[in-house]
Amino acid sequence: MPAFSCKVCNKKFSLPPAALAKFPNWNPTTCMKCKKGALAKEENLSRKEVLEKYTAGPTTGVFTDGSADPNPGPGGWGAVYVVDNEIVGEKSGHELGTTNNRMELMGIIAACKLVPRGTPVTLYSDSELCVNTFNVWIHKWKLLGWRRAKGSKGEIKNLELVQEVHALLEARPEITLKWIKAHAGNRWNEYADVLATEYRKK
């Protein structure tokens, strides 16, 4: 079983082969203990508290997040569009039975729709899986008839959402999808996280 090094605690961790097989070339960087600890620490902050606490990171762009707790289980997504540290628009939503990846994809869809057509912008996601999906793997999957490469196990999960995001990004070349580190004090990524998790407080 492959071993990975957690960027937070520096300890080695592993994941079940079945989980790794679903996402070829995925290189997990945070163990579940640290990931859950970070989420638990931040999930009680309000939008106002996040803006008061955090100032780092990009000040213009559209930021998105999504998660399910447990995974699968209830989940939410959020997206916020900011220009020079001012909120231009935001959206959020949740589902009772979902997955982390599905919520990340829903957040990206909402983020694309927040930005006026023709406006150059960077779309920030803290999901390396999603960013790699659309920046690295998607073109090969499309050439193979929306299938994974030969020898890869499992179908493409949430294919309808993957195709929707792909179509949006293809139609909107002015949008650049970029990874941003989660729970690293980046103000608007933290804000998107609050939007995605507010459903838990209701």
Q: What's the pLDDT at 24? A: 73
More reliable by pLDDT, 57 or 22: 57
Q: What's the pLDDT at 147? A: 87
Per-residue CA distances from 128 to 95, 116, 184, 198 (Å): 22, 25, 14, 23
Q: What's the pLDDT at 151? A: 65
65 in active site: yes
Write down the pTM of the prediction: 0.79
Condensed to tens digits (0 to 9), the pLDDT of residues 15-45 reads: 777 777 766 777 788 877 676 655 555 557 8
Q: Which of 66, 75, 78, 107 is catalytic?
A: 66
Q: Which of 57, 61, 94, 104 is catalytic?
A: 104
Least Cα distance to 10 among 25, 26, 31, 24 occurs for 31
126 in active site: yes
Q: What integer best gives the mean pLDDT of the chain? A: 89
Region 94-106 average pLDDT:
95
Least Cα distance to 60 among 81, 29, 37 occurs for 81
104 in active site: yes
| 8 A C-beta contact, residue 175 and residue 63 | no
- Report the SS3 class of residue 13: strand
Q: Which of 65, 90, 95, 190 is catalytic?
A: 65
- Distance CA(176)–CA(188), nearest Å, equals 17
Domains belonging to the chain, first-starting first, are: 14-201 (3.30.420.10)
193 in active site: yes
Of 67-71, 80-84, 104-108, 110-114, the range with the lowest mean pLDDT is 67-71
Cβ-based neighbour number of residue 170 at 10 Å = 11
Per-residue CA distances from 22 to 71, 151, 162, 201 (Å): 15, 12, 14, 31
Q: What's the pLDDT at 27? A: 78
Q: What's the pLDDT at 1? A: 63
69 in active site: no
| DSSP-assigned letters across all residues of 71-130 | SSEEEEEEEEEEETTEEEEEEEEEEEEE-HHHHHHHHHHHHHHHSPTT--EEEEES-HHH
Beta bridge partners of 61: 82
Q: Which of 75, 94, 95, 126 is catalytic?
A: 126
Q: What's the pLDDT at 30? A: 80
Condensed to tens digits (0 to 9), the pLDDT of residues 140-193 reads: 999 989 988 776 667 899 999 999 999 999 999 999 999 999 988 999 999 999
